[in-house]
Amino acid sequence: MENITAIIVEDSRLARNELKELLKKHPQIALVGEAENVDKAYELINETQPKVLFLDINMPEKNGFELLEMLDNVPLTIFTTAYDEYAIKSFEYNAFDYLLKPINQDRFSKTIEKVISTIEKETTDEKPFELHRQIFIKEGENCWLIQISEIAIFEIVGNYTRVYFESNKPLIYKSLNQIEAKLPAATFFRANRQQIINLTHVDKVIPWFNGKLKVTIKNSDQEIEISRRQSYKFKEILGF
């Protein structure tokens, strides 16, 4: 496996140096850049497309959560923080991992082992890599960092798109067409003009009138009507 690229985003030079020293013991991780603020980090991430992001949460001007909100594709994110409250928050947001400062060497090594194991699985898994990509969603004071594979439905709501995952359904300011262009086509299916569904979240397929179909979504009361034209495609995909 090739080296795993990473960048450090941390406003403290001392903390950046500490992370770099810890990384020296793990040659599988290739540090390709570092940034002391969110704006520089945003440019660096778009330029280098790292696999891993070591991200401080509490920074001047813009914080780590705001950086994630700016990104279309979020690398595996490991939050670094001196504050327990943020560490707990990051864990609730399904961050890949978090490290509490001062960073313990053994704890850091376990995180790196987890990174390597996850990347190896991505490169050997039959599913498209995009399914493992994390995206950051923010609605009001609520934030989530989730894998694309966890999303069951995308749905148009005016100029927004509602995203359904677990029991959550926040709105994001992106069109359904923009979202569809970035989704793995083998997994996400345009059911109708208003909705895209994740085929792995389909529970039941129900025959409907005029040759149309309805599907129910696992662990929810959602029923999605598939347009007549898309119903033919759906049957071809499922082989019936």
The reported pLDDT for the residue numbered 82 is: 83
Asked whether the predicted pLDDT for residue 3 surpasses 80, the reply is yes
Q: What angle do CA 184, 190, 191 make, to 5 degrees?
A: 140
61 in the same domain as 10: yes
196 in the same domain as 118: no
Residue range 96-110: average pLDDT?
91
Is position 225 within any domain?
A: yes
Q: Report the chain's mean pLDDT, rounded to a whole number.
A: 86
166 in the same domain as 116: no
The reported pLDDT for the residue numbered 128 is: 43
The least confident of 49-53, 129-133, 217-221, 222-226 is 129-133
Residue 109, domain CATH? 3.40.50.2300
- Each residue of 74-84: pLDDT tens digit? 889 999 988 77
End residue of a domain, out of 69, 99, 130? 130
124 in the same domain as 9: yes
156 in the same domain as 67: no
Q: Which domain holds residue 90?
A: 4-130
Percent of the chain at pLDDT > 70 equals 90
